[in-house]
Structure 1
Amino acid sequence: MRRRRFITASAAATVALALDIDETPMTGRLSMSDITHARERIDRLDAHFSAIGGESLLAVATAYLDRLTTAADHCTYGPRVEQAFHTAIAVLCSSAGWAADDAGNLDAAHQWRTTALQRAILGAGHRAQARAWSDLATHARRGGHHREALRISQTALASRGARQDPRYAALLQSRLAIGHARTGDHPAAARALLAAQTAHDRINPTEPAPRWLNFLTAAEISGLAAITQQAMGHLAYAETATTQALTFLEPGLRRSHAYYSVQLTELKIAQGNTAGARTTVAAIDTTKVSSQNSTGRLATVRRTLATA
């Protein structure tokens, strides 16, 4: 445990240095180039989150948010810069929400996600609004409020960001499918899964994705489909889809590898395949993963296997 904390703390220090937080102007007049630099720093933070998780990055994200909100209060800027500034802060609040989620602080995660939506609305950032709605749906689902999660997902899909970008549509339809499955509407879940795959197929691979969405590959679509299948009680299908996700995942996405490896172990246990579960769990390495969500679930499956 001490080794994992050392590694993630070192990662946070590296990110803080790379972000150059102290270079953000605190006085004077801001221009669009200042917003561009801020977005580049936020992109670097999101890249580290995708790689290792967000628990160790929460302090970095919140410190940078303090810096940006102080700059917003003390600097001058025109209407165009103001809107872009709100949108950049919204994106960073969404990142902080996931970092808090990985740290196990769901109250803080909800606060940051709500603030992200408010800032995105102020900035008229349609994609930032879609992301914030999507994150709030995930938060509701984590709290067991499945009908609320379903309604939020439907609201997110009606946003301009989802209508304009198939990446957002694919993610939101995948999460909508989970919501339908967990509220017992299996036909609607199947339709949402098909819509997610259709949207993903429409993605133009030559168009760069927002950095925070770099995890949304065919592997992630399979992994989210597995969660839907599991919620519908189709455990064999869920296991196949989870295995496919792990096969397609890029090596650098260690957080996702850990998450879906634990999911695969849970599915094997649920089907009575304790031997297969032990083989899977023995290969899981979370020493470079900074997410209590994954490490907590891993500890639970290990305890289950110890008594099986």
Structure 2
Amino acid sequence: MDTQKNAILVALLREYGHIHRSLAAEVNRVSGRIYGRPGVATDRDVRRWISGAVRWPTGRYLLPLAEVFDRPPEAMGFVPRGVSSRLPAPPTSVRPGEEQSVKRRTFLASTAASVALVLGLDETPVRGRLTLADTDRVSETIGRLDVHFTAIGGGALLAVAAAYIDRLRDAVDGCTYGPRVEQALHSAISNLHSTAGWAAHDTGDGQEARLHHAAALQSAILAEDKRAQARAWSNLAMQARTEGRHREALRINQAALNSRQVRQDPRIAALLHSRLAIGHARLGDRPAAARSLFAAETAHDRFDTAVPPPPWLAFLDAAEIAGLGAIAHQAMGRLPEAEIATAQALRLLGPSMHRNRAYYAVQLAELQLAQGDTGRARTTATAVDTAALSSPRIGDRLAAVNRLLATA
């Protein structure tokens, strides 16, 4: 049987500073806490996971691995066997006080219920006094939800985000807190609505997405959080563009750039200028689109790589700038340039960016097909892996490409 090296797991070992032997030891240590007795993984097991000889480890190893790297199995490069991609539940023999820790730290990607369980959403207080430590934990949870979206898409996350929004609103009404905590709560609710909006977008539910993005803006205004406002404005512009309201999208993007604080944040500025370029391109203003693309690239050059971005902006790197530029070129009818930029985005994408890799691979197939290159389009489309994704929108686009190829 052909095997394929698990490059994602290799990258994770490098990122976390593990060698084969130390990862096996860590898996055994975590396994001991989960199952009540040490694990028996060896460096040979790690080599087999990396080589692809074992594409889906047994639950005894998979549950500790998910905790060690704090992500679902698919985001570690593992491929489900058959129809099941669920992690096993922690054993009932877990000692008191340990089960919730396991639930908090283990991503279960298969269903909304398992994701909610792992993130520990029900641990946010809805009575009593809230402190900034509580809101920090809320923000960390939302950040992990954003990481989950980046890894496999938002299809399974809409219900999770909506339920957590309800819980945070219960906290706003049922708890006591000071002014700073109140602002932090509204910022968190705004960011959660933005995440929910993108999850709805991934499912193809435009109406639900629009409602969440509008609610995100409202909460960001209550929080007096300019960055959250810019995020909400940007998402509203994206939604308007998706619905064909290009002039409205352009105006919203311009409004988002009105804040000096936003313009001076290179990451947010790069995102807004990239989307502004798409807006100008859709309206046929090529010079303005070119200026916005240049502004986005200039802002990208100013990124402070020593400071980690907020989780919701972690996707915005050189690959995403190239991908958004490709969309602008496509809107201007410059298909060869769009194809080159999309291919560049795919080359630059990190190994854990499953959703974006599938998104831009489908975009590349669409561009090749639009230029009449059915051979390469078929090769590109065939290589798109959506098995580990939860994004009906991307799946629908790939299906449309395959239907066109079937009649070509």
Scaled by the length of structure 1, what TM-score is found? 0.96
State the AA in 2 paired with 1:265: A
More helix by share: 1
Q: CA deviation at 1:9?
A: 6.0
Q: CA deviation at 1:14?
A: 4.1
Is residue 148 from structure 1 mapped to residue 248 from structure 2 by the alignment? yes
State the AA in 1 paired with 2:243: G
Q: How does 1:1-308 map to 2 (within 5 A)?
A: 10=110, 12-308=112-408
SS of alignment partner, residue 90 of structure 1: helix
- C-alpha separation between the residues in 1 aligned to 2:294 and 2:166? 41
- C-alpha separation between the residues in 1 aligned to 2:240 and 2:361? 24
State the AA in 2 paired with 1:62: A
Q: CA deviation at 1:25?
A: 0.7
Contact 2:197–2:212 (CA under 8 A) maintained in structure 1: yes
State the AA in 2 paired with 1:101: H
Q: Give ranges in structure 1 of 5+ residues lacking alignment.
A: none
- C-alpha separation between the residues in 2 aligned to 1:217 and 1:109? 24
SS of alignment partner, residue 209 of structure 1: coil
State the Cα deviation string for residues 142-201 of structure 1 (Å, max 9, x = none): 000011000001011112442231000000000000000000100000000000000000
State the AA in 1 paired with 2:153: G
State the AA in 2 paired with 1:262: V
- Higher mean alpha-carbon deviation, 291-300 vs 158-167, is at 158-167
- C-alpha separation between the residues in 1 aligned to 2:128 and 2:261? 33
Contact 1:184–1:232 (CA under 8 A) maintained in structure 2: yes
- C-alpha separation between the residues in 1 aligned to 2:83 and 2:163? 22
Contact 1:169–1:196 (CA under 8 A) maintained in structure 2: yes
Rg bigger for which structure? Answer: 2
Contact 1:258–1:285 (CA under 8 A) maintained in structure 2: yes
SS of alignment partner, residue 128 of structure 2: coil
Contact 1:4–1:287 (CA under 8 A) maintained in structure 2: no
State the Cα deviation string for residues 204-237 of structure 1 (Å, max 9, x = none): 1001101011110100000000000011111000
SS of alignment partner, residue 87 of structure 1: helix
CA shift in 2, pair 1:205/1:19, >3 Å: same
The Cα RMSD (Å) is: 1.4
Q: Which has the higher contact order (CA 8 A, sep 6+)?
A: 1
- C-alpha separation between the residues in 2 aligned to 1:27 and 1:94? 25
State the AA in 1 paired with 2:225: G
- C-alpha separation between the residues in 2 aligned to 1:246 and 1:9? 24
Counterpart position of 2:7: none
Contact 1:50–1:255 (CA under 8 A) maintained in structure 2: yes
State the AA in 2 paired with 1:122: L
- C-alpha separation between the residues in 1 aligned to 2:196 and 2:234? 15
CA shift in 2, pair 1:143/1:202, >3 Å: same
Q: CA deviation at 1:294?
A: 0.7
Contact 1:166–1:203 (CA under 8 A) maintained in structure 2: yes
Q: Give ranges in structure 2 of 5+ residues lacking alignment.
A: 1-81, 87-107
- C-alpha separation between the residues in 2 aligned to 1:137 and 1:5? 38
Q: CA deviation at 1:138?
A: 0.3
